[in-house]
Structures are given as structure tokens and as C-alpha cells.
């Protein structure tokens, strides 16, 4: 079957889903609200899957969980119309949700009632092992589960750690899991002919590394650990350019001389510039790369950004942040 026929149904589904996104006027209406109840009423009117949300006592955590569950539900629907290779790539890409839940389950078993856990229930429709993880009632059972996964070595390193609020080991655990996710994903995609998918993941990795260096040097000073914490992949940023960033050269001087120079045209700090650049990349691919799995990944990324936008608005309204400052955080 041709790529055109194979992705015709996928395109139709995604275009229909994407058409339900929040537009600029709707974001502005959310920002105008004075409390979470007002936001909940608007969201319930916009999205059917929030119809059971208690608008009288809405909770940020409940709204975020329902939004994520709807995203996973979209992915489950899309997966059903993909061929086997595209399904495999999509599940590898969505693995970050499974990793997040494994980590949260670990924290819950370690800290008990001190650590809440919100389960994206329909995630088990993509990863059957989630149900097995849910059956773990203590750390011994958790490590029995994890030893049969690729994450065993990482979690075993921290098996004797207690992740209290001041413990830096949790940060290290999260960093190692993220690096493994991206490195494994990129390695697998490189073996395929999915060049558009490779472009998305490669650019994410390059720019996440730039941002990681920038944050580390800004908040923690120069450290030999910075390089070790980077995702060990070079897509369009060379090792030499990474080394120059690590040595303290300004990121503007590096980016303006390679394919990422358009990152600099966006307003805001470096993190905001990168988010806006990647968001524009996803929109472009959603509209132009119509015959491969990259359209699915782009849709997921855009919907993830919509969730972040909603949560940023909720937090801004909750703490009565200047509405113009809230608006600046919205990326669409």
C-alpha cells in the first residue's frame, strides 16, 4: 500500500482532533478569569472529556490528569489505524509517559502517603505492563518488576536512596531516565527511513542539550558533571559546538552560525525561544509531512503544549499573576 493511502485515515483523524484545539481568543478568555472555577466552566464547555469535572471545587491536579488521559486516548485511537512499524515507533516515542509513571510509582512506594500518585489509567492500553506495575505493593515487588526492564540498572543505583525534598539523587535519577529515553529513541529511529521523525527527535535533543548547558552554568556554575548529564547524541550541533558552549561561549554566537539561528528570532529567554521554535516546527510538520509518523508525533507535541498552556494559566490565575505575564507564557 502506498504511503498516501496508508496515512489517509491517519491524516483525517489528526486533522479532526487538531481542529478542536484552543484558539487565541479562547486562551484570552481563560486568562481573564479570576478563579479556577471560572476556568473550569470554560474548559467543560470546550471539551467533552471534562464534563464530569466538579466546577464548584475543581483541582489543578484533576484537570491536568484528565487532559493527559485525553491525550493518551487520542494516541490509542491513532495507533489502531497505523501499520506495525509506525505503531512500534509511536510506542517508543510515548515511552516517556511510561517512564514517568514508573518513577512516580517508585516514589509512591518509597514515601507512601507523602507522595500522591495520579495514574493515567488508559496508559495501560499502550503498555500492558503498567497493570503489573500497579500490583506492586512495596519496594521489593517494585524491584522484582523493574529487573526485567531496561531501566533496572538505573533504578538499582538508587535503591538505597531516600528521596526527601533536599536529596539531589532524585534529580540525577530523572536525568538518567531522560537521557536513556532520548538515546534509545534516536538510536532506533536512525535505523529506519523515517527522516522526518529523526528530524524532530534530533532537534529536540540538540536544543535540550543547549538549554541544559545554559541552565547549569547560569544556576550552578561551571561543572565537569554538565557534559556527563547531556544526551549523548549530536544531530545538527557538532561536538565542537557543544564543547564551545561548555567552555562558556555565548549560545547566541553558536546558534547564529548553524541551522538553529531562527531560534534567536523569537522573544523571551532561551527556554521560551526554544519552545516557540519547536512549536513552530511541529505545526509545520503537521501541515506538510502528511505521509509518515511525524504527523502523529507533531500532534502529540502540540497537544502537550496545550496542556502546559492551560496549567500555566491556572497557576497564573491562582496566584494572581499579572495577566500580561501569563499571556507571555502561552505558546501556540
pLDDT at 116 over 70: no
Mean pLDDT lowest among 27-36, 83-92, 173-182, 286-295:
286-295
Q: Is the pLDDT of residue 127 over 90?
A: yes
Span 230-246, average pLDDT: 96
- DSSP secondary structure, 160-226, as one string: T----TT-THHHHHHHHHHHHHHHHHHHHHHTSS-HHHHHHHHHHHHHHHHHHHHHHHHHH---THH
| H-state helical runs in the chain | 3-18, 24-32, 36-46, 60-79, 84-93, 95-111, 129-134, 139-146, 152-157, 169-190, 195-220, 225-229, 239-246, 251-255, 270-288, 294-318, 323-328
Measured CA to CA, the distance from residue 101 to residue 149 in angstroms comes to: 14
Other Cβ atoms within 10 Å of 262 Cβ, number: 13
Does the pLDDT at position 101 exceed 90?
A: yes
Q: Which cell numbers hold the place of 71?
A: 491525550
C-alpha pair distances (Å), 168 with each of 102, 161, 219:
19, 10, 15
Q: What is the pLDDT of residue 164?
A: 62
Instruction: For the chain, give the percent of residues with pLDDT over 90.
Output: 71
- Residue 208: pLDDT band by 50, 70, 90 thresholds? very high
State the residue for C-alpha cell 531562527: 262
Name the pLDDT band for 277 (thresholds 50, 70, 90): very high
**Whole-angstrom Cα distance, residue 269 to residue 5?**
43
Dihedral angle computed from the Cα positions of residues 108, 114, 118 and 119, in that order, rounded to the nearest 10 degrees: 20
pTM for the model: 0.93
pLDDT digits (tens, 9 = 90+) for 62-81: 999 999 999 999 999 999 98
**Given this model, what pLDDT does residue 163 score?**
66
What is the model's pLDDT at position 194?
Answer: 87
Q: How far apart are CA 55 and CA 41, in angstroms?
A: 6
Q: What is the mean pLDDT of residues 148-161?
A: 89
Distance CA 35, CA 173 (A): 36
Q: What is the phi-psi region of residue 167: left when phi exceeds 0, alpha when psi lies from -120 to 50, beta otherwise?
A: beta
Question: How confident is the model over 216-232, as a mean pLDDT?
Answer: 83
Amino acid at each position: 500500500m502506498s504511503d498516501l493511502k496508508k496515512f489517509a485515515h491517519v491524516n483525517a483523524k489528526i486533522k479532526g482532533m487538531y481542529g478542536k484545539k484552543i484558539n487565541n481568543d479562547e486562551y484570552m478568555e481563560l486568562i481573564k478569569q479570576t478563579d479556577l472555577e471560572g476556568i473550569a466552566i470554560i474548559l467543560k464547555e470546550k471539551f467533552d472529556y471534562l464534563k464530569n469535572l466538579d466546577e464548584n471545587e475543581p483541582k489543578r491536579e484533576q484537570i491536568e490528569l484528565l487532559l493527559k488521559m485525553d491525550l493518551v486516548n487520542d494516541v490509542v485511537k491513532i495507533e489502531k489505524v497505523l501499520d506495525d512499524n509506525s505503531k512500534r515507533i509511536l510506542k517508543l516515542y510515548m515511552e516517556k509517559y511510561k517512564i514517568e509513571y514508573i518513577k512516580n510509582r517508585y516514589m509512591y512506594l518509597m514515601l507512601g502517603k507523602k507522595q500522591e500518585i495520579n495514574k493515567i489509567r488508559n496508559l495501560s492500553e499502550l503498555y500492558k505492563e503498567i497493570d503489573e506495575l500497579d500490583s506492586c505493593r512495596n519496594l521489593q515487588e517494585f524491584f522484582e518488576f523493574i529487573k526485567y526492564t531496561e531501566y533496572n540498572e538505573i533504578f538499582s543505583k538508587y535503591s538505597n536512596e531516600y528521596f526527601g525534598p533536599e536529596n539531589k539523587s532524585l534529580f540525577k535519577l530523572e536525568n538518567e531516565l531522560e537521557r536513556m529515553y532520548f538515546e534509545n529513541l534516536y538510536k532506533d529511529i536512525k535505523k529506519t527511513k523515517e527522516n522526518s521523525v529523526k528530524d524532530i527527535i534530533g532537534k529536540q535533543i540538540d536544543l535540550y542539550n543547549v538549554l541544559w548547558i545554559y541552565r547549569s552554568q547560569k544556576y550552578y556554575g561551571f561543572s565537569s558533571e554538565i557534559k556527563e548529564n547531556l544526551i549523548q547524541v549530536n544531530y545538527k550541533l557538532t561536538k565542537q559546538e557543544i564543547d564551545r558552549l561548555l567552555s562558556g561561549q555565548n549560545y547566541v554566537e553558536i546558534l547564529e552560525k548553524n541551522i538553529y539561528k531562527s531560534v534567536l528570532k523569537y522573544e523571551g529567554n532561551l527556554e521560551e525561544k526554544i519552545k516557540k521554535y519547536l512549536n513552530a516546527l511541529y505545526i509545520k510538520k503537521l501541515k506538510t509531512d502528511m505521509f509518515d509518523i511525524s504527523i502523529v508525533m507533531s500532534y502529540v507535541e502540540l497537544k502537550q503544549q496545550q496542556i502546559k498552556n492551560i496549567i500555566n494559566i491556572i497557576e497564573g490565575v491562582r496566584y494572581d499573576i499579572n495577566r500580561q505575564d501569563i499571556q507571555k507564557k502561552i505558546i501556540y
